[in-house]
């Protein structure tokens, strides 16, 4: 994908590097040249210094060919302005803007702008970490395997068989709506279910990270 990022603060710079590392073509625009330079030589994307919502800068960035534009400056007015320009003038297919002030969230939605809220994400991350406290080690079978019980916090359903294959574990018990029963391979696991699982210690962290730490993306 070709993605234009507006704003090279901490959030924007990390996003630009991450998307570029994933194989996307990335251009980032910011009026602060020092922030652009801070991306370092490891960033392979394009950098443009200038007013973020200036049409000439957007054209230089290739906005007419962009698959997506993500506005993540620390100024809601800039994010809203550049999002509307990208949509109304340049018809960018996918536009996402960062909400900085929760009280302005209404304006984004009123204008039909898709949003992300990093503050809310951080809250959800903290909440999801609290869910890890509900993990109990029922028994250590030996130096390698444990039987654990934990609450699922993953939004998207997944089958028992897929979990067992991916994380080399055995799910023996499922508590759903307060009822405990043995599992079948095609049982669908949903958020709020509780699992009893035998897993290798090397795979436990990855399993818990996948099923307990998701933050609704």
From CA 67, how far away is CA 31, in angstroms rounded?
23
In 3D, which of 99, 97, 35, 92 has the Cα closest to residue 68?
92
How does residue 122 score in pLDDT terms, banded at 50, 70 and 90?
low
Summarised one tens digit per residue, pLDDT across range 68-115 is 999 999 999 999 999 999 999 999 999 999 998 888 888 888 888 988
Instruction: For residues 127-139, give the mean pLDDT.
Output: 55
pTM (two decimals): 0.58
Task: Output the six-digit token pair for 157.
Answer: 């359903």
pLDDT of residue 53: 94
Residue 200 has phi, psi (to 5 degrees) of: -70, 145
Contacts 24+ apart (CB under 8 A), 103-112: 104/76, 104/80, 107/76, 107/80, 108/80, 111/80, 111/83, 111/84
How does residue 139 score in pLDDT terms, banded at 50, 70 and 90?
low
Q: How far is CA 161 from the centre of its chain?
A: 25
Which structural domains are found in the chain, ordered by start?
A: 2-116 (3.40.50.720), 126-212 (3.30.70.1450)
Instruction: For residues 179-197, give the mean pLDDT.
Output: 89
CB-based contact 45:16 (threshold 8 Å): yes
Summarised one tens digit per residue, pLDDT across range 46-70 is 999 999 999 999 999 999 999 999 9
């Amino acid at each position: 994908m070709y993605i234009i990022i507006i704003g090279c603060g901490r959030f924007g710079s990390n996003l630009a590097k991450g998307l570029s590392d994933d194989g996307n073509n990335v251009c980032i625009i910011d009026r602060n040249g020092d922030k652009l330079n801070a991306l370092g030589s490891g960033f392979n994307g394009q950098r443009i210094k200038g007013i973020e919502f200036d049409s000439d800068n957007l054209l230089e960035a290739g906005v007419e060919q962009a698959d997506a534009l993500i506005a993540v400056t620390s100024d809601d007015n800039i994010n809203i302005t550049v999002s509307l320009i990208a949509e109304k003038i340049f018809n960018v297919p996918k536009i996402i803007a960062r909400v900085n002030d929760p009280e302005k969230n209404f304006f984004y939605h009123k204008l039909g702008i898709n949003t992300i809220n990093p503050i809310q994400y951080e809250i959800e991350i903290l909440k999801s970490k609290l869910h890890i406290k509900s993990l109990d080690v029922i028994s250590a079978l030996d130096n390698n395997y444990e039987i654990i019980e934990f609450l699922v916090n993953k939004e998207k359903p997944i089958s028992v068989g897929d979990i067992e294959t991916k994380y080399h574990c055995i799910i023996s018990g499922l508590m759903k709506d307060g009822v405990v029963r043995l599992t079948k391979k095609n049982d669908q696991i949903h958020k709020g279910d509780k699992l009893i699982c035998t897993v290798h210690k090397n795979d436990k962290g990855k399993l818990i990270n996948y099923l307990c730490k998701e933050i609704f993306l």
